[in-house]
Homo-oligomer: A and B are copies of this chain.
Amino acid sequence: MQTVKLTDDLQFSRIIHGLWRLSDWGLTNEQTLALTEQCLELGITTFDHADIYGDYTCEERFGEALALKPSLRDSMQIVTKTGIKLKSSKFPDRKINFYDTSKEHIVKSAEQSLRNLRTDYVDVLLIHRPDPFMNPEEVAEAFIQLKEQGKVRHFGVSNFKRSQFDMLQAHLPFSLVTNQIEVSPTYLDHFDLGTIEQCQQHKIAPMAWSPLGGGSIFTADDERSVRVRAKLEEVGAELGAASLDQVAYAWLLAHPAMIMPIVGSGKIERIQSAVDALDLNMNRMQWFQILESSKGRPVD
């Protein structure tokens, strides 16, 4: 498995396993452990969490599985997130979903993540959404404290636009190591917004969530999805791809920004399929054919 160097002391696997839906997969802790070990055998060493996934349950389920074999911890990198306060029966006072990037919340949330995940540290903590009420000085204080205490090794962001990234980075004494964004053949916003270019400018690799467009490439019947699906099939045939999702992954993997797709499946075959996409070498023209199918017009 190809790895991506995020810092001198941190490497991610090019394919990342996403635990967003862990609670929906109906797995016992033993099954979760087995799935995790299968990922590791495939070379997937990076696991993506958030405090809020599964209505605040996924971290804990993963932690319980990990507790069955704690020695695995050192073979993996754990990413988790903070900054969203979700309306939930667990927090009856909350009237709406909102963001909280106060120092207090970041620190408390990260410490709770450590307990949930049964670990002493997370490798990377991300601010989940750009908070319009953010005080970047407070975020910096929280990050510095968590780093000094050894609770979090590195920090990043998710869904941040350029101005938000620049603002936060300007207050930090170390570099943000990634921006986790939505990218797929049917979701190109971060190309248009310059977010991916910003990552390339700062020489950091983005993580891609929803790399299959939330499944739209398989089933959606809007014009755009139909066009993209047809082109993925055409290019897939040229490449000898085994399935449509492989072509979508290959499209992300071909890009020079070193995009790291997050595969959010509980089925090892689907995960394997993403890993196999690393062997497909999509060429530049094929990449643009898929881009054009998504934009619905040729490049200028």
Contact = CB atoms under 8 A, between A and B. Distances in A.
A25 interface: no
Contacts of A171: 201
Interface stretch (A65-73, A113-121, A162-170): A162-170
A289 B96 contact: yes
A255 B134 CA distance: 8
A285 B129 contact: no
Nearest to A84: B299
Nearest to A291: B132
A300 interface: yes
B300 A256 contact: no
A197 B99 contact: no
A198 interface: yes
B191 A132 contact: yes
A21 interface: no
B191 A96 contact: no
Interface residues of A, number: 48
Contacts of A97: 298-299
A299 B97 CA distance: 7
Given A161-B194, A163-B201, 20 more contacts: A85-B285, A94-B285, A95-B285, A96-B298, A97-B298, A98-B292, A98-B299, A99-B284, A129-B300, A135-B200, A135-B256, A163-B194, A163-B197, A163-B198, A167-B194, A167-B197, A167-B198, A170-B201, A170-B202, A171-B201
Interface of A: 85, 94-100, 102, 129, 132-138, 159, 161-164, 166-167, 170-171, 191, 193-194, 196-198, 200-202, 254-256, 284-285, 287-289, 291-292, 298-300
